[in-house]
Amino acid sequence: MYIINQFRHNVNINHRKIISFFRIFQIFILIDINITKCYNVVISYKGCVDLKKILSLLLSAIIAVTGIFAVPQLAFASSYEDELRAKGFPDSYITKLTELHKKYPNWIFQPLITNLDWQTAVNGERSSHSKQLIEKCSLYDSTMYCDCSGCKKNGSYVIREGSNWISASEKAVKYYMDPRNWLDEKHIFQFESTLYDGMQTKEGVEAILSGTWMHDSLITYRTTSGSVKLYDSTTKYSDVIMKAANDSGMNAYYLASKIKQENGGAQASASAVNGQVSPFQGIYNYYNIGAYTGASDGLAWAAGFLKTNKKTTLYSEYDSTTGQAGGTKTALSSSQYMTWRANKGNYYYVRLYTESNGKYIEGASGYVLKADCRTTYLGDTTSGLGRPWSNPYKAIYYGAKYIARSFTTQTSGYLQKFNVNPASSTLYTNEYMKNVAAASSEALTTYNGYSKAGILGVTKTFVIPVFNNMPSDYTVSGLSAYCSIDGYASLSWNGIYGASYQVQVLSNGSWVDCAYTSTPSAVVYGIVPGQTYSFRVRAVAQENGKTVYGNYSNTVSASCSVGKVTGVKATSGNNYVTLTWQPIPGASGYSIYLYNPTTKKYKYKKNVNGSNTITFKYTGLKFNNSYKFKVRAYKTLNGVKYNGICSDGVSIKTKNNVVNLKSAKSSKTKKITVKWDKLSGVTGYQVMWSTSSNFKKNYLSVKVKGSSKTSTTLTTSQSKKTYYVRVRAYKTSKGKTTYYAWSKTIKLKVK
């Protein structure tokens, strides 16, 4: 049986709370509650009640209350929610943005009103299924993969890029495309404006580059000839990113995040940045521009698509003295592609290549007349953009200019992935990357960089698309549950503006309503310690006079356990052990268990009452013996005792008051003088001497009464003989004498 958590509302002069208060009772009337079940509703008397009658009475009372406040609500100050609504954000955006505003009050949220129908926009993005790719990996279930006849053939998904990139399903595109799924502090950066505002710093860029070979590093690279070169003695990667941002008008943090997302790593091993990929050795493309089917495409783009514009000759040698090429001659046809390697007077030093079935095949290197080559995409021109990008500086600097020029209306990571800006002339096209998750992934990179740099809270502008006819977003997220051993479960989740909530618990295989609330939290009573409970929540709201139910949240489970005792420690005396442990909040007490070496099991010995009683003295033990203990908490609820989990075992050995034997000397014939240290709390001492080292024969002993006595003189039966001496304490109580352990043995020769 579970107790309904009844309407924990605080009615005050806040019209939104009153409206929410009113809605919850509307929901109660609309929900078909089976009155034959008794939910132990908390009221002034026990037993089952006519719940509908009570709710009707309460509804009447609330209507009266809301009527009192109907006029004053117009005078209330506008809230931040109202500001967002006035800008054009739908209610389904507002709760999450409000929470972000509370934490980051300097952040600015602006809607991009697309005026696009949601489904139409999704269809536009999927006009070609090869435009939206997703990695086939363990992170996703099969519903995220497109299984249409063009994307899945003969039972296998069609590989679009690399070895495991396939077409994303409509579900996957909707998930990554719906802005409301990413309005948290980490992923919202995909909506951050990519425009330069002068507030980005080199330190912030370095923070983003942290973990990569570029972090706080001078620019080094491989030339077209394969040698390693330092760009100069002062320029770091962060320097060129800052300059590229300033000159291109792009956000420096966006550029750094883009580079890290595309090619970041502990080492410069990615194909686009290692300078070793044939036939584009010494060519770089840090943003992977033009990498439509792979890194080599991007390198071909960065190399500038140099090719012959007519039939010409490739020479194997060049004479710098005469400025003429010679050596072996190779005839080249028109449109022969080549990669730039160096300028040599009127010639280019090049590496030939051909492309076949998406593969680039390297040919011979040599010299060709510049006049015989197409140079449209080379040089520092509008079309050339500084190509070929033969070092990282050029790739980063001119790449930023390309992005700025190519995405004039796509001024966020999101828009560069999903081009839904109505001002764009290339709607649903001209998109930077095919990876459907790229924008959200880059956003996380940006967040981590900002966080490390300590600049999360500075002013930032986020432009967030809004579509027409978006699906209702009433799915509860962030559900968590904690079960207390005091007999209740505490639940909380992310709130949804204007919604109330229905909470259910799994009972005997069926979901049962256990709470209704207008706040994003609930307390469910009737929880039994030692059991595991599963909960789920869904939102309930009013839209256009109709009751709308959201999808149920993910199921969360919580175990109501008394808990395992930890931190058990033991100290010992001669005949006792004192145990201490960490308290278990809410426990009724603790049970002490002692290990039995005969049965090889722990046996219950004693209860200790009270959750704060965390010590116990176990007496009556033998001295100099080893013992093992465990402690277990318990909770008594309604007369029933629920045990927790036993602690780990702790071992301890009782003490054994060993006497410190100081000396045993013979200064007279047949005499031994023995001295030892005083031991408090004993009755006296027993001294033994023998000609045998193990004291099993030819031995005598004497008792010296009194704990303060610390010496005695022994008489031996022989002289000129080797003797062994030892001493131990003893204690007599109630006619019983207890002997402690023997001291060390001293060997001496008697006079």
Residue for token pair 């006296």? 684
Q: What is the dihedral of CA 19, 22, 28, 31, to 10 degrees?
A: -50
pLDDT at 675: 97
Q: Tell me the Ramachandran region of residue 288: left when phi exceeds 0, alpha when psi lies from -120 to 50, beta otherwise.
A: left
Q: Are strands 615-618 and 107-117 parallel, antiparallel or unpaired?
A: unpaired
355 CA to centre of own chain: 44
Candidates 511, 499, 498, 503; CA nearest to 479 is: 503
CA distances from 695 to 54, 675, 717, 729 (A): 92, 19, 15, 17
Helix (H, G, I), strand (E, B) or coil at 601: strand
What DSSP line would sit under 332-356, residue for residue? Answer: E-TT-BEEEEEEETTEEEEEEEEEE
Distance CA 109, CA 460 (A): 9
Q: With contact defined as beta carbons under 8 Å apart, do 562 and 529 qualify? A: yes
The per-residue pLDDT for range 704-718, each reduced to its tens digit, is 999 999 999 999 999
Q: With contact defined as beta carbons under 8 Å apart, do 356 and 379 qualify? A: no
302 phi and psi, to 5 degrees? -65, -25
Q: Tell the burial category of 246 from Cβ atoms under 10 Å away from its Cβ (0-12, 13-18, 19+).
A: middle
**What is the identity of the amino acid at 680?**
S
Can you name the residues that pair with 513 across neighbouring β-strands?
Answer: 504
Distance CA 550, CA 159 (A): 36
Distance CA 186, CA 179 (A): 13
Quick one: DSSP state of residue 730?
A: E
Q: With contact defined as beta carbons under 8 Å apart, do 653 and 582 qualify? A: no
Distance CA 96, CA 718 (A): 99
Q: How many alpha carbons lie under 13 Å from residue 301 in its C-beta half-sphere? A: 20
- Number of C-beta neighbours around residue 136 at 10 A: 16
Residue for token pair 């519903």? 143
pLDDT at 655: 82
Residue for token pair 């929610």? 81
The verdict on pTM exceeding 0.85 is no
Q: Tell me the Ramachandran region of residue 224: left when phi exceeds 0, alpha when psi lies from -120 to 50, beta otherwise.
A: alpha
Q: With contact defined as beta carbons under 8 Å apart, do 422 and 415 qualify? A: no
pLDDT at 78: 54
Quick one: DSSP state of residue 179?
A: G
- Number of C-beta neighbours around residue 88 at 10 A: 12
CA distances from 100 to 14, 188, 190, 608 (A): 22, 10, 15, 49
As given in the structure block, the two tokens for residue 3 are 């107790």
Give the N- to C-terminal CA distance of the chain in Å, as an integer: 91
As given in the structure block, the two tokens for residue 355 are 């492309």
Regions of the chain where pLDDT drops below 50: 1-77
Distance CA 188, CA 97 (A): 10
Element (H, E) at 626: strand 626-637
Can you name the residues that pair with 320 across neighbouring β-strands?
Answer: none
- Sign of the CA dihedral 100, 101, 107, 113? positive
Candidates 131, 710, 222; CA nearest to 428 is: 131
CB within 8 Å of 693: residues ≥ 6 apart: 724, 745, 747
Helix (H, G, I), strand (E, B) or coil at 84: helix
Distance CA 37, CA 42 (A): 14
Q: Are strands 640-643 and 650-653 parallel, antiparallel or unpaired?
A: unpaired
Can you name the residues that pair with 482 across neighbouring β-strands?
Answer: 490
CB within 8 Å of 329: residues ≥ 6 apart: 313, 314, 315, 316
What DSSP line would sit under 540-597, residue for residue? Answer: EEEETTEEEEPPPPPPEEEEE---B----EEEE-SS-EEEE----TT--EEEEEEEET
Q: With contact defined as beta carbons under 8 Å apart, do 650 and 570 qualify? A: yes
